[in-house]
Structure 1
Amino acid sequence: MAKSSSSSTTVPDTVWLGRGRHLGPEAEQDVRRNLIALKAAGVIDDFLDLDPIEAARSTDLFPRDESADAGPSARRVFEARWRVADGATVRAQLTTFGAESRRVGSEGVTWALAAEAEQAWEASWPSPATVFWPDSDRVPWDHEEVPGVRLRRANHLPKDDGDLRRLLRSCSRQSWFIHVVVHEAMTPDARGRRPITAFLPPSLRHRVVEHRATPEQALIADFAMKRELRVGLPRGGAVVLPPTPQIPGYDSERFTVRDVFLDGTEPTELLQKIAEFASLPRPLPAGAEQVLTRLRQGWHLLTPDEELVHARAMVTKYAKALEAMTASCDLYREAAESALAALAEATTGDDASRAPSPVAAEQDASPLKTLTKTLALFRNPNR
């Protein structure tokens, strides 16, 4: 698997990350159905469905650390491997978590997804989210960990100032996604209510959450955003929100669009700003480093060539272990022989009668016991 030279605190340019909640009754079954269908259609090369305990045991032969474990609250681990247009291999791992991993008051099944390619990630590639989850409005996998927010729709901001500010804080500090706020200069028709994220390329589409401020929310939204995030919202415009802590290279003016026409046409300038923001180096969000480590060090879905390489490595590893054990046994035997020789020398001459008989020596041949008796003789030679 590709390893980036990026700092461990920065998202590598080969990696796609996502985290959210599935509010339906059959989260894991939805994943299985989608993976089976995509493999049958030849979209993915292969996939695995693992119990977390089984996954942890089966990776004991791999170099790993505790951060590669899914944790006690994990429900299932899914892996998939596919190739993108230029032939680069993508490996992805999705883990679903139980109630212990969820914040108080939240619902559904929490999931975390990490995908890594053999080269820098391209926005035009298929979204890893829709490799595991069906891209259907009937499957509610796309809920943010921030309550009341979804990926694939335009989310209207709360009307209450306190609720609005709490939402902005949560999205800035907790989310793994990019958040964009758009102000509706006037109430849009059905075409204008279509999420602008639908115009984004596939791999970027499921990394962006869109918020909408209604026409009458212009002042309250602008005030709350300046108070919480120090960015303004132009009337009839949009802004890409900064995460907390703010990433290097972010400037509110650079990622603000003055006019966004919500008439169903492609908002080219805003899409460019989002893509530019997504290309900035960004710190790994809370919990993402463990998810990425789990992908890299707890990977199970090997190709035949990788399995052969792994088998050869294990043969070499076990051969070295056996050699070390043999050397240890040889040293132990030599120590025992030296102790027996010292005992024989100490009991010759006048004390020959006190030497143990061959039968007794055979019965008491433990090197540890022999050493103990030898030391005792040296301490009290007249016994």
Structure 2
Amino acid sequence: MSNSSTAPPTIPHTVWLARGRHVGSQDAAGVVRRQLQRLKDREVIDDHMEPDEDQGHDPGELVFEARWRVEGTVTVRARLTFPARPEPGSPTAAPTSAEGREWVLVAEAERAWDPRWPSPATVFWPEDADAGWDHAPVPGLRLRAVNPLPSEEKDLRRLFRGCAQDGWSVHLVVHEAMTPDARGRRPLAGLLPASLRDRVVEHRATPDQLRSVNWALLREFDFQVPRGGAVVLPTHPAAPGYDVSDFSVRSVFLDGSEPTELVDVLCRYAASARLLPEGGAEALTALREQWSLMTLEEELARERRLVAMYAEALEAMTKSRDLYRESADRANEALAALRESGGAVVPGAAPPPAGSPFQRTFGRLRDATKALRPATPPADGDRVDPSRDDDRSPEGR
């Protein structure tokens, strides 16, 4: 158990993030390029670009940046990344190629994110149902679609365990009180606010699955889904303050009408203090620190910040140089005084600063000169009279 008191980072309220896989016959990067250019031509977004590798991101990554405005004045910056493909022969090479191209998308606004704003996913990806980009991080699941729950209890537990590890998506379990008609079988994503549609993974349980689903939920999360209701699954570890009663709905009417209570629960969950998922902190840092798509005003402000930073560094270097120069001058003065005095310490000569290299050198020189000093002659009272020595000789006795 960790003894660290540092709280894990949470998703900022200004940030929207998602992750998925593109599975399709078309090249994923080509699909994104065409979509961005299409929206720029229609003036839906302000601009977009594809930074080169020498602008900060890892070799092999593909990066796309786009910026647009919501509500006329609020600027949104977004960064879509295709991580580098694994090396041939590595353990992850075969599954990745078979399951499509992974993508990570992070967007940040100038103020708290509003779920009614356009989804950043549909800025980079077309909204076509067969576009192939809306496969969830958990294999076998789709965003914007109904995902039937498996019938086997062991498969249910394995699925829920995988969903708890996926902090990029919002996993919702819905139980059908009775078999719905054609309208009720449609995904609930189409009835959600725009910014939630591409992040919610809807798991649907049939009327006769309630017992097995609740058995698996009890063992994985220690709660159940209400009959005919819905519950938002927590991540692992759970977000601070998560309470299942706050993120569950007693009844969901699958008749094509707007699920007002469910929408409110999902919006509150999306706005709650949720932990950043694995890899989320790195993606957010890259958005903030490696951003390349700047306006002229932003580039000028950045250059001014760089000039100020360089000026501070130069000032610090100048002060350090002056201190070293002063120490060197004082050490040279002390050494010259030592040489002139023939090794004796000159009163009033200031030693170099304590603890400096020059003081250590001065100390070594002083110790060395002590050994070279002439022996001090004995005092008069201590001198030996040679005549007395003679008197004490055997011949003089």
- Structure-2-length-normalised TM-score: 0.74
Structure 2 residue aligned with 1:138: 130
Structure 2 residue aligned with 1:208: 200
2:227–2:250 CA contact under 8 A, matched in 1: no
Match 2:68 to one of 58, 64, 82: 82
Match 2:243 to one of 245, 250, 257: 250
- Note the 1:155-304 alignment, pairs <5 A: 155-247=147-239, 248-252=241-245, 255-261=248-254, 263-304=255-296
- Structure-1-length-normalised TM-score: 0.76
Distance 2:55 2:286 in 1: 11
Query: What amino acid maps onto 2:107 in structure 1?
Result: A
Deviations 1:6-47 (A, max 9, x none): x76111111111111112341111111111111111111111
Deviations 1:108-130 (A, max 9, x none): 22111111111111111111111
Query: What amino acid maps onto 1:55 in structure 2?
Result: Q
SS for the counterpart of 1:17 is strand
Structure 2 residue aligned with 1:59: none
1:322–1:118 Cα change, 3 Å: same
1:238–1:256 CA contact under 8 A, matched in 2: yes
Distance 2:126 2:335 in 1: 78
Q: Which runs of 5+ in 2 are unaligned?
A: 1-6, 341-360, 373-397
Q: Which runs of 5+ in 1 are unaligned?
A: 1-6, 57-69, 349-371
2:51–2:292 CA contact under 8 A, matched in 1: no
- 1:275, CA displacement in angstroms? 2.0
Deviations 1:178-204 (A, max 9, x none): 111112233333322210111111112
Query: What amino acid maps onto 1:95 in structure 2?
Result: T
Deviations 1:244-265 (A, max 9, x none): 222314224751323433x222
Query: What amino acid maps onto 1:90 in structure 2?
Result: V
Query: What amino acid maps onto 2:35 in structure 1?
Result: N
Query: What amino acid maps onto 1:150 in structure 2?
Result: R
1:138–1:103 Cα change, 3 Å: farther
Structure 1 residue aligned with 2:15: 15
Q: 1:93 and 2:85 equivalent?
A: no
Query: What amino acid maps onto 1:12 in structure 2?
Result: P
1:238–1:260 CA contact under 8 A, matched in 2: no
Structure 1 residue aligned with 2:299: 307
2:171–2:200 CA contact under 8 A, matched in 1: yes
Distance 1:128 1:90 in 2: 9
Distance 2:211 2:325 in 1: 86
Higher relative contact order (CA 8 A, sep 6+): 1
SS for the counterpart of 1:50 is coil
1:240–1:256 CA contact under 8 A, matched in 2: no
1:98–1:110 CA contact under 8 A, matched in 2: no
Query: What amino acid maps onto 1:184 in structure 2?
Result: E
Query: What amino acid maps onto 1:266 in structure 2?
Result: E
Structure 1 residue aligned with 2:351: none
1:220–1:331 Cα change, 3 Å: closer
1:325–1:231 Cα change, 3 Å: closer
Query: What amino acid maps onto 1:159 in structure 2?
Result: S
RMSD: 3.6
Distance 1:170 1:221 in 2: 15
- 1:155, CA displacement in angstroms? 0.6
Distance 1:81 1:312 in 2: 22
Query: What amino acid maps onto 1:20 in structure 2?
Result: G
Moved over 4 A (4+): 101-104, 319-348
- 1:273, CA displacement in angstroms? 2.1
1:179–1:241 CA contact under 8 A, matched in 2: yes
1:180–1:241 CA contact under 8 A, matched in 2: yes
- 1:242, CA displacement in angstroms? 2.1
Deviates more, 1:183-192 or 1:30-39: 183-192
Structure 2 residue aligned with 1:62: none
Distance 1:183 1:73 in 2: 45
Identity %: 50
Deviations 1:72-126 (A, max 9, x none): 4752111111111151111111111133399844522211111111111111111
